[in-house]
Amino acid sequence: MSKLKGVYCLQVKLMYGTGLRCAELLSLRVKDIDFGSNNVFVRGGKGNKDRTTILPQGLIPDLRTQIQQVEMTHAWDIANGYGDVYMPDALERKYPSAARTTAWQFLFPASRVGPCPRSGVIRRHHLHPSALAKQLRRAVQESGINKPPRAHAFRHSFATHLLEVGYDLRTIQELLGHADISTTEIYTHVVNRGGKGVLSPTDRL
């Protein structure tokens, strides 16, 4: 992570700290970061399901700074005749004025406004996945790591490390948003030592 800077470093830390998929990360709105309950809300994740995951305490200062940046960008958009963010159809009809509020802006907005692929309306969407992928490739190359860079690896590390410190599969299943516990059980093969997951007494010396 030391090779990543600014918003890209925060994105990677957030994926590792929450178990979010890359698409879920980029779809986050300002309102989805709840400092009061220490939760991150995932809206319409895989399978169009909502869920809640943990808010890493160590990322709170950086997240507050990012939200301040979003507020400034949003103010600039409004001053220049933009400011409406994409809203799912049902929510757009139910809350017609919400698209212009800071709460509904993307947490990681694109660097410029552009035409919406759905409607053609000029607005600011979230950062494109290719931008993060490009930064990950650069960071991996600079680090001398001989493995292909994958944003999904941070989600895998989140699950694996929780298992290693003793969290139960059901809890991890809920945090990851797996519909079937068997999907979560795959991670047990990563952390198991030996045939039965037993740590040899010699390894404790």
**Residue 118 bears catalytic tag:** no
Instruction: Work out the angle at residue 124's Cα, subtended by the Cα atoms of residues 119 and 129, and round it to the nearest 5 degrees.
Output: 95
**Residue 155 bears catalytic tag:** yes
Active-site residue, selected from the candidate residues 21, 29, 74, 126:
21
**Beta strands across the sheet bearing 51-54:** 33-34, 39-42, 51-54
Nearest in space to 49 (alpha carbons), one of 77, 30, 24: 24
Active-site residue, selected from the candidate residues 94, 134, 152, 193:
152
CA 23 to centroid of chain Cα atoms: 7
Active-site residue, selected from the candidate residues 51, 124, 126, 155:
155
Active-site residue, selected from the candidate residues 13, 74, 126, 178:
178
Cβ–Cβ < 8 Å for 116, 123: yes
**Residue 123 bears catalytic tag:** no
**Residue 187 bears catalytic tag:** yes
CA 25 to centroid of chain Cα atoms: 3
Active-site residue, selected from the candidate residues 31, 43, 46, 161:
46
Active-site residue, selected from the candidate residues 29, 51, 126, 187:
187
Distance CA 193, CA 89 (A): 49
Q: Both tokens of residue 84?
A: 């409406």
User: Residue 138 belongs to what H/E stretch?
Assistant: helix 129-143
Q: Which residues are catalytic?
A: 21, 46, 152, 155, 178, 187
